[in-house]
A and B are shown apart, each in its own frame.
Chain A
Amino acid sequence: EVQLVETGGGLIQPGGSLRLSCAASGFTVSSNYMSWVRQAPGKGLEWVSVIYSGGSTYYADSVKGRFTISRDNSKNTLYLQMNSLRAEDTAVYYCARDGNFDIWGQGTMVTVSS
């Protein structure tokens, strides 16, 4: 079965760090473009970052310099390292296969609050 499963969310204080994971099954992460998308409570969807099959990465301006996308090919897993977290980063974070965005995970909630 083709699926993505995110883990790693939680409650974190402003300025803190968190690493999200997205485990894939049924397809190979490293052969695809993979994105992170977030959704603040009650709000719409916001694209965060992408990693190309070749390894190039791109970020939304709102997270550039604070977030890092990466992958572990041996584990078929995508990551999002989030540093210097702010209250406005509070959201459900989804990983998705980029391009047609045909595969989405169920999301993991990140709450940044003191």
Chain B
Amino acid sequence: DIVMTQTPLSSPVTLGQPASISCRSSQSLVHSDGNTYLSWLQQRPGQPPRLLIYKISNRFSGVPDRFSGSGAGTDFTLKISRVEAEDVGVYYCMQATQFPRTFGGGTKVEIK
């Protein structure tokens, strides 16, 4: 199974300041079709997960442009350029390149 390792576990951020979350996979996420199925999900308290970024860097419909994804191979990053109050929640990276699909352990973003 592909292990997804996220850091940090928790990220206290001042409103308006940037935040960055790293995700490392135990093996390459490049699929045989050439795509890299690495997504970032946001889960606000009491809500289901919501897709933010797919295939490393593609922002999903309706996602603010302060969210961006980057990386390649086994190392990926989610950046929030200026954290807003509505960004509080847990962020997960996940891979859908291989079965079983696997998720990172989550990073809790909170306001300082």
Asked if A and B are interacting partners, one says yes
Give chain A's interface residues, CB within 8 Å of chain B. 35, 37, 44-47, 50, 58, 60-61, 94, 96, 98-102, 104-107
Taken together as a complex, chains A and B put the C-alpha atoms of A29 and B16 apart, in Å, by 40
What's the count of A-B pairs with C-beta under 8 Å? 56
* B67 adjacent to chain A (CB < 8 Å): no
Pairs A–B under 8 Å by Cβ, sample size 25: A35-B101, A37-B101, A44-B103, A45-B41, A45-B92, A45-B103, A47-B100, A50-B101, A58-B99, A60-B100, A61-B100, A94-B48, A94-B49, A96-B49, A99-B37, A100-B55, A100-B60, A101-B39, A101-B41, A101-B51, A102-B51, A102-B54, A104-B48, A104-B51, A106-B48
Return the contact of A100 from the options B51, B103, B106 (Cβ within 8 A): B51
Give chain B's interface residues, CB within 8 Å of chain A. 37, 39, 41, 48-51, 54-55, 60, 92, 94, 96, 99-106
Q: Which of A44, A46, A101 has the most CB of B within 10 A?
A: A101
Q: Which of B54, B92, B99, B104 has the most CB of A within 10 A?
A: B99
B96 touches A99 (CB 8 A): yes
Top 4 A-B pairs, shortest CB-CB distance: A47-B101, A100-B54, A45-B103, A104-B48
B39 touches A107 (CB 8 A): no
Q: Which residue of chain B lies nearest to A102 when distances are taken between CB atoms in the complex?
A: B51
